[in-house]
């Protein structure tokens, strides 16, 4: 596991601060917390899927080459490798067009990742990503999209605050593990407080 961590650390060093190795470390800790309440889960699958879940993120690459290469190098059965691929594929929100989480391990990885998208760290990551992509902080006239294709979700350069309404505020109710639901509640409430204060300051 330590060797794999070193390998992926090099990959994530190429990404902006919203998806760097610190993000992976936080998701890993979230996953460990959830695993403590899910003793029947395959912890090895969860940990490896967490480490690899963003190496071929569509926000940064159109290719799954990096993910495929790293999984191929694992000394695991083909069945377990496919399980890891499935977990990774089922993590992404995709503008509300997410794949169903078909295993307990996929549910844990997805909840762990989504926990890092909300709360104080979620706020910081949203603006870090928006800054890296040259996005506005907010746009009072921008319409929030609730029904969109994955392509529409990824292609429109929406303001960072709009992203809260199109994704982040929805995540609390999309958590699937009991521990994930519990951990999400406080973070969701903090985001709501932040947005209320922001609206007050910008006169919206």
The residue extents of the domains of the chain are 2-202
| pLDDT one-digit tens code per residue, 104-157 | 999 999 999 999 999 999 999 999 999 999 999 999 999 998 888 777 777 778
Spell out the per-residue pLDDT of the chain, length 204, in tens. Answer: 778 989 999 999 999 999 999 999 999 999 999 999 999 999 999 999 999 999 988 888 878 889 999 999 999 999 999 999 999 999 988 766 788 999 999 999 999 999 999 999 999 999 999 999 999 999 999 999 888 877 777 777 899 999 999 999 999 999 999 999 999 999 999 999 999 999 999 986
- Tokens representing 181 are 């639901």
> What was the pLDDT predicted at 153?
74
pTM of the prediction? 0.93
**Is 2-202 a CATH 1.10.390.10 domain?**
no
Q: CA torsion 104→110→113→116, rounded to 10°?
A: -100
Buried b (16+ CB within 10 A) or exposed e, 25-57: bbbbebbebbbeebeebbeebbbbbbbbbbbbb
> What was the pLDDT predicted at 148?
80
User: What does the alpha-carbon distance between residue 184 and residue 64 come to, in Å, rounded to a whole number?
Assistant: 30
């Amino acid at each position: 596991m330590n060797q794999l961590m070193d390998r992926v650390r090099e990959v994530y060093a190429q990404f902006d601060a919203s998806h760097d190795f610190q993000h992976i470390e936080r998701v890993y800790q979230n996953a460990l917390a959830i695993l403590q309440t899910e003793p029947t889960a395959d912890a090895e699958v969860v940990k490896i899927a967490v480490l690899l879940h963003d190496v071929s993120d569509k926000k940064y690459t159109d290719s799954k080459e990096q993910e495929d290469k790293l999984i191929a190098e694992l000394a695991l059965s083909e069945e377990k490798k496919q399980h890891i691929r499935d977990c990774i594929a089922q993590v992404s929100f995709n503008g509300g067009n997410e794949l169903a989480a078909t295993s307990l391990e996929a549910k844990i990885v997805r909840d762990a990742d989504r926990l890092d998208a909300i709360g104080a760290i979620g706020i910081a990551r949203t603006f870090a990503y928006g800054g890296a992509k040259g996005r506005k902080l907010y746009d009072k006239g921008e319409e929030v999209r609730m029904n969109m294709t994955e392509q529409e979700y990824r292609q429109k350069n929406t303001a960072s605050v709009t992203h809260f309404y199109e994704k982040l505020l929805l995540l609390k109710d999309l958590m699937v593990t009991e521990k994930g639901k519990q951990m999400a509640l406080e973070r969701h409430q903090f985001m709501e407080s932040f947005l209320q204060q922001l609206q007050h300051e910008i006169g919206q």
